[in-house]
Chains A and B, each alone.
Chain A
């Protein structure tokens, strides 16, 4: 290879060039800044240790109740709450999906005209910005205590979640398939049915199953602010200091969430 008797030497060291911050000085400065900030941030957290000592005993009673759960004493309340929660979860998920599919399609940039896109994106933004508990408080104020407020809250939250993820999935489809269907002279509805739906369906079903178990967990949380269901029962037993019943309720919630998680996992892997 070497013509003039000069053996060329090749570098033996290679480093990956910095991708984000090019200057070495800036990189060091940013690290130092981050560490200093973290130090001060942690040191502002005040822990009142005497308060912890008092609370410890109460906390341990809670744990003890959890470890010796009492399913029987309040079984009637628990079962009513559970049925209410499950009903709320199913109905709100179904209604939420039915509403979020058109909104999700409308919020996909590659399918919808600009004005429709903007309206649908705003609906999604509003639904996502409002936390379930806040929405639940609003609906309880509007419709009174009970499962109906919970149903509305969960359906509303489902729209933001599902429509956003569906829209993003539609924007990620293989455009070649859509182009081919468009080239046959298909109408917009036929395009959605033939080119979009087959591509996003498995994910839509997976997300719906996932939302179903989120809604069940959320139904326990929003019950605390009066939106009915197992959360209401949990709240009552906590305020009566019946930690053993509360422990039983928590165990049931965990069991149901695990079952939901497991079955949705199986279903999703079958759908691919």
Chain B
């Protein structure tokens, strides 16, 4: 469980990125974080694993206060938080396997990581995850030899290799085509469901968010202006988050998309369940 209380971030330049942000993410919940560019989405998720230093407020991950940690303690918390990035952020010249195994860096001593001699169970986990994201045969390829969608799968495997208690996802689909975007979102959400992993997904695409997440938090100019299930994300709520725009037209498109999505799923799965 992640609890954020009164989180505020003011950059050295004086820009207020976040003001008094508070919310709780229970186990297994997938949260979509939406808002216009510059609303502080990226700052917020980077405050959680302290890639950005919060100015004030508290962040607790399963009762560990994160904001005051330093050195080795901070690294021990970071290894419990997996992160997936917008431009994948794989180390391009390393192999796919090395990239996945780098998820264990917080657990293994330097000599093991330097000699690439990871413990057997770490290697087994890496192979299992590569199989889960469908990249087993690419394990020994260099990361820069893969396509965008494949790279993001490696990014997902790297984050899961940490055996995280929380997943932070920063614009996972921003550099992908629409179809791959859906596949990646579906994969992330499925994996979170499988292991009851809570996740915060920072996302531009409102429709994609509405389709896949359990809960939506809307940020505007560093403040939470919406917090609720996707169904409550009405025209008014969107206007509160983004400002005036023709939302009904967009949502109509969304409904059609959702239908197509549902049909595709029905075609894929043998059993038509509670749909």
Contacts and interface: CB of A to CB of B under 8 A. Distances in A.
Interface of A: 174, 176-177, 179-187, 189-190, 193-195, 198-199, 201-202
B93 A189 contact: no
Contacts of B105: 181, 184-187, 190, 194
Given A174-B92, A176-B87, A184-B106, 6 more contacts: A176-B85, A184-B105, A189-B110, A194-B94, A198-B92, A201-B93
Contacts of B90: 177, 180
Contacts of A193: 110, 113-114
B126 to A, nearest CB: 13
Contact of B91 (A183, A185, A195, A202): A195
Interface string B57-78: 0000000000000000001111
A185 B93 contact: no
Interface string B95-118: 000100011111100100110000
A194 B110 CA distance: 11
A224 B72 CA distance: 54
Interface of B: 49, 51, 75-81, 83, 85, 87, 89-94, 98, 102-107, 110, 113-114, 155, 158, 162
Given A177-B91, A195-B91, A182 B113 contact: no
Given A187-B110, A190-B105, A182 B91 contact: no
Contacts of A189: 110, 114
B106 A177 contact: no
Contact of B83 (A174, A183, A186, A190): A183
Contacts of A199: 91-93
Contacts of B81: 183
Contact of B102 (A174, A176, A184): A184
22 contacts: A176-B85, A180-B89, A180-B90, A180-B91, A181-B91, A183-B51, A183-B78, A184-B78, A184-B103, A184-B104, A184-B106, A185-B79, A185-B106, A186-B102, A186-B105, A186-B113, A189-B114, A190-B113, A193-B113, A194-B98, A194-B102, A198-B92
